[in-house]
Amino acid sequence: MPFASLHDWNLSPGDAIALQKRLARRVERTDRLDTVRHLGGVDIGFEDGGETTRAAIVVLAWKGDAEAGLEVVEEVVHREPTRMPYIPGLLSFREIPAALGAFDKLDTWPELVMVDGQGIAHPRRLGVASHLGLWLDLPTIGVAKSRLCGRHTEPGPARGDWTPLVDGPDDEVIGAVLRSRVKVKPIFVSPGHRVSLSTALAWVTACLRRTKLPEPTRLADRLASRRGQ
């Protein structure tokens, strides 16, 4: 499915930061989802000492409930030269160009996408999941392994326990710290685009199996980390 160009990628760090602030105002934090028949999982890796970006997408058929399971229907890997060096807070400018190349190869278009990274849980409220959601005009959820910004208390010990991730002087809720597996460090879930926090948590929880990460990003992470494929 084609997607419209949102902006140029050849930007200085200062221009990229200014663009993030403008784009963050366009992010939708309430639900606007179609019926979800397919879920996408996205993860990005790097090869050649960071010179090559490797984007992986896994598309799974959603069978209507957590018990029915998830079936992989498509996997795509796309490589291209890395466009921006690693700069804290600007990771989406480094990762998304390759992700868009991977989406361009898909035959099965997902209605909801989980991204290994932050959504609005970002200092300028535009992490990779939010930025990608704006490009694709798709509902997205950020599922990160570590905290980028914000404050939180420790979630309870049981699987599914969570506590709000808050930031700023007014304690703005920007995500949730979710215990996805007993006795394992929590993950950080945040709305990306066109998804509320409660809906993001519901979907991530529904896609948990025996591991720490929900199936879409777990499988994308595995695909992104392979070499020579």
Per-residue pLDDT of the chain (229 residues; tens, 9 = 90+): 667 789 999 999 999 999 999 999 999 999 999 999 999 999 999 999 999 999 999 999 998 876 677 899 999 999 999 999 999 999 999 999 999 999 999 999 999 999 999 999 999 999 999 999 999 999 999 999 999 999 999 999 999 999 999 999 999 999 999 999 999 999 999 999 999 999 999 999 999 998 999 999 999 999 988 744 4
The amino acid occupying position 75 is E
The encoded tokens of residue 220 equal: 């994308």
Nearest-5° Cα angle at 20, 15 to 23: 125
DSSP reduced 3-state for 20:
helix
The encoded tokens of residue 35 equal: 């019926």
What confidence score (pLDDT) does residue 228 get? 42
Q: What are phi and psi of 77, to 5 degrees?
A: -125, 135
What confidence score (pLDDT) does residue 187 get? 98
Pairing outcome for strands 187-193 and 140-144: antiparallel
Q: What are phi and psi of 39, to 5 degrees?
A: -110, 140
What confidence score (pLDDT) does residue 107 get? 96
DSSP reduced 3-state for 120:
coil
**d(Cα 165, Cα 12) in Å, to the nearest integer?**
30
What confidence score (pLDDT) does residue 1 get? 63
Question: Can you give the length of the chain in residues?
Answer: 229
What confidence score (pLDDT) does residue 69 get? 76
pTM greater than 0.85: yes
Residue 113: closest CA among 200, 31, 25, 202:
200
**d(Cα 79, Cα 188) in Å, to the nearest integer?**
27
The encoded tokens of residue 121 equal: 């849980």
Of the CA atoms within 13 Å of residue 113, those in its CB half-sphere come to 33
Tell me the per-residue pLDDT of 178-190, one tens digit each, with 9 for 90 and over. 999 999 999 999 9
